[in-house]
Amino acid sequence: MPASAVVCPALAQLFEPTASPPERKIYVVIDNYRIHFAKPVLAFLQAHQDQIEVVCLPTSSPKLNPVERFWKHLRRKVTHNTFFQTVERLLEAVTSFFQDLAAHPDTVRSVAGLAA
C-alpha cells in the first residue's frame, strides 16, 4: 500500500479499484491543519490533480468548518460542566453521543448547517 493511502485513507477510498471512477472533478475543502500539507498528502494530490481540486479555508475560520460545529455540539451535549471519573467513562459518553448522532441524520444536517 502506498504511503499516500495510509496518510489519506478517505481520499484513497475514492480511487480504490472497486470504486467507480469519478465522473467530475472532486473538490476537497480543508482547513490549515498541518497533516493536510504533509509530503505524502501533497504527493497523492499531485498524482490525482486532474481529479481532485483542493480548496483551503482561510486561517482562523471556524464558522466555515462544519467539523468545528460538531465539536461545539459535542462539548455542549457531553462534556460541558461534566467531570468524568475515568477516561473510559469519557470515551463511553463520546461514543454514545456519536452513535446517537448517527441514528439522527436530521440532527447531523442541522448541526452542519445543512437543515432545510
| Rounded Cα–Cα distance for residues 37 and 105 (Å) | 31
pLDDT in tens, 71-115: 899 999 999 999 999 999 999 999 999 999 999 999 988 888 876
Q: What is the pTM of this model?
A: 0.55
| Rounded Cα–Cα distance for residues 106 and 63 (Å) | 20
pLDDT band with cut points at 50, 70 and 90 for residue 4 = very low
